[in-house]
């Protein structure tokens, strides 16, 4: 009887199903217990809540939140092993509601046999709200213990119903020292040698990602066939790729760090965070817009030229492009960092907007209205208006606020930079107005 494919199964296997090569180093180095697990002492150290839950076999659904390569998947597997649970891995990238229901059938079957199921959902933030909701009945009935893994802030990416039924644990990036220890263990597996300096450079380039470090070591070892030298490592590494997602939380973390460093008058920190964004490929015009905002929000009238410098920077970046325009951004950031700071105008506008939103919409005083027609003039429009240029130093005693808001002050200049002179001038104006009012009363 002929075979459907025209060839016997053994031959078809040899053509299309070549025997798999060795598993990736990161997978071969995956630990099987907490004692061999690297890092995360803040949640897995002796006596810590998550460790106690695992050891006491009392785990509830959890969300593991942290950057790539810190051991989220590994930790989920260790938990399943230590709690003697069925481990069902599930990818949010490849699956939908249909697959969720199919997996839940297996979970219900395991439960009927008296076995607990840990459903591990990698990149759970990629599920939409409806897909996340599909887990809820199974979590509530106890059919599964859900372990979700995400690189994004769960507060924004996991729906409230699922979040309220889970405990969030934040995993941090591994330190350089922790990654070096992992690499030292892996040298025997890849049958290579390397100095501590070389391993440290691999760990530094990995940026807290153990998987990335393992991949680099594996590639370097394959090329070295013996000792991994610094020269060979330089060729392997090429250019370090920094962790950065223009649409993710790290994008906002970095711009926040830059803004707060400028506000704190720390030029070195400001340059560091700026360099992180530049090196990661951030849109230069986005940075330029944010730097202009810093000028008006944090420097304000303490140095009115700050915003001029930033607008000039924006035009320079637009005109020159990369990389020359990056220097213009750096100069503007340094200017803002060392400039005198004032948020008085920022606070003043906020206070006035609050008054406008919450207070009564007071009518414009009659003396500030234009009398466009004879009838309007006869009704009192413009009556009592004082033309400033008819007075010494262009200062009159006329009130420009509605009567109900007489005497209210929202702008309070600080004694920093140019704003110190503005404050002195404002006090002079108010004093002159008071004197003019007094003279008018006496007359």
pLDDT tens digits for range 367-404: 888 888 888 888 888 888 888 888 888 888 888 888 88
pLDDT at 404: 83
Residue 333 predicted with pLDDT over 90: yes
| 73: nearest Cα among 215, 244, 209 | 209
What residue spans of 280-378 are helical by DSSP H? Answer: 284-294, 305-320, 324-338, 344-358, 374-378
Instruction: Please tell me which residue, 243 or 295, carries the higher pLDDT value.
Output: 295
294 vs 313: CA distance, rounded Å: 13
76 vs 299: CA distance, rounded Å: 48
Instruction: Please tell me which residue, 249 or 396, carries the higher pLDDT value.
Output: 396
pLDDT at 243: 54
Query: Which domains, and CATH codes, for the chain?
Result: 39-170 (3.40.50.300), 176-237 (1.10.8), 249-338 (1.20.272.10), 369-442 (1.10.3710)
Q: How large is the average pLDDT for residues 396-414?
A: 86
Instruction: Please tell me which residue, 272 or 35, carries the higher pLDDT value.
Output: 272
pLDDT at 441: 41
Q: What is the Cβ-side half-sphere exposure of residue 299, based on CA atoms within 13 angstroms?
A: 27
Percent of the chain with pLDDT over 70: 89
Residue 240 predicted with pLDDT over 60: no
CB-based burial, 333-350: b 16+ in 10 Å, e otherwise: bbbbbebbbbbbbeebee
318 vs 326: CA distance, rounded Å: 10
392 vs 382: CA distance, rounded Å: 21
370 vs 266: CA distance, rounded Å: 50
Q: pLDDT per residue over 113-128, tens digit each?
A: 777 788 888 888 888 7
Are 233 and 94 a contacting pair, CB within 8 Å?
A: no
pLDDT bucket at 11, cuts 50 / 70 / 90: very low
| Mean pLDDT across the chain | 82
What residue spans of 56-208 are helical by DSSP H? Answer: 72-82, 97-112, 129-133, 136-141, 154-157, 160-164, 176-190, 196-206
Helix then strand count (H, E) for the chain reads 22, 7
pLDDT at 435: 55
Q: pLDDT per residue over 138-165, tens digit each?
A: 787 777 888 989 888 888 788 888 888 8
Are 198 and 226 a contacting pair, CB within 8 Å?
A: no
Would you say the pTM of this structure is higher than 0.85?
no
Hey, CA dihedral for 304, 306, 309, 314, is it positive or negative? negative
Instruction: Please tell me which residue, 436 or 364, carries the higher pLDDT value.
Output: 364
Neighbours of 178 (CB within 10 A): 19
């Amino acid at each position: 009887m002929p075979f459907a494919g025209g060839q016997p199964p053994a031959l078809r296997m040899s053509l299309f199903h070549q025997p798999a090569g060795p598993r990736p180093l990161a997978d071969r180095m995956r630990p099987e217990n907490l004692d061999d697990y690297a890092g995360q002492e803040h949640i897995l150290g002796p006596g810590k809540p998550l460790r106690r839950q695992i050891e006491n076999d009392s785990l509830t659904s959890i969300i593991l939140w942290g950057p790539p390569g810190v051991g989220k998947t590994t930790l989920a597997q260790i938990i399943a092993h230590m709690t003697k649970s069925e481990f069902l891995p599930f990818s949010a990238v490849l699956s939908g509601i249909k697959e969720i229901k199919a997996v839940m059938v297996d979970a219900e079957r395991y439960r009927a046999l008296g076995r607990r199921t840990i459903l591990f959902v990698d990149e759970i933030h990629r599920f939409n709200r409806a897909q996340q909701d599909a887990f809820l009945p199974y979590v509530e009935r106890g059919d599964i213990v859900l372990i979700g893994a995400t690189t994004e802030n769960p507060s924004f990416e996991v729906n409230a119903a699922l979040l309220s039924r889970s405990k969030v644990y934040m995993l941090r990036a591994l330190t350089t020292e922790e990654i070096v220890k992992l690499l030292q263990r892996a040298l025997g597996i890849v049958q290579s040698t390397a100095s501590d300096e070389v391993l440290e450079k691999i760990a530094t380039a990995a940026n807290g990602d153990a998987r990335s470090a393992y991949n680099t070591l594996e590639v370097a070892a394959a090329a070295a066939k013996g000792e991994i030298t610094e020269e060979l490592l330089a060729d392997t590494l090429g250019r370090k790729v920094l962790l950065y997602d223009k649409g993710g939380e790290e994008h906002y973390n970095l711009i926040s760090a830059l803004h707060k460093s400028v506000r704190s008058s720390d030029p070195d920190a400001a340059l560091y965070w700026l360099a992180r964004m530049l090196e990661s490929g951030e849109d230069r015009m986005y940075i330029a817009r944010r730097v202009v905002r810093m000028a008006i929000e944090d420097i304000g009238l303490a140095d009115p030229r700050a915003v001029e410098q930033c607008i000039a920077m924006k035009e320079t970046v637009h005109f020159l492009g990369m990389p020359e325009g990056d220097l213009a951004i750096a100069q503007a950031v340094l200017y803002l960092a060392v400039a005198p700071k004032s948020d008085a105008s920022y606070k003043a506008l906020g206070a006035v907007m609050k008054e406008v939103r919450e207070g009564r919409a007071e009518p414009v005083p009659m003396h500030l209205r234009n009398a466009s027609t004879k009838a309007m003039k006869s009704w009192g429009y413009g009556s009592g208006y004082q033309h400033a240029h008819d007075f010494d130093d262009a200062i009159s005693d006329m009130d420009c606020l509605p009567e109900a808001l007489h005497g209210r002050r929202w702008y309070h200049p600080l004694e920093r930079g140019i704003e110190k002179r503005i404050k002195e001038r404002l006090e002079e104006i108010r004093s002159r107005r008071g004197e003019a009012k007094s003279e008018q009363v006496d007359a």
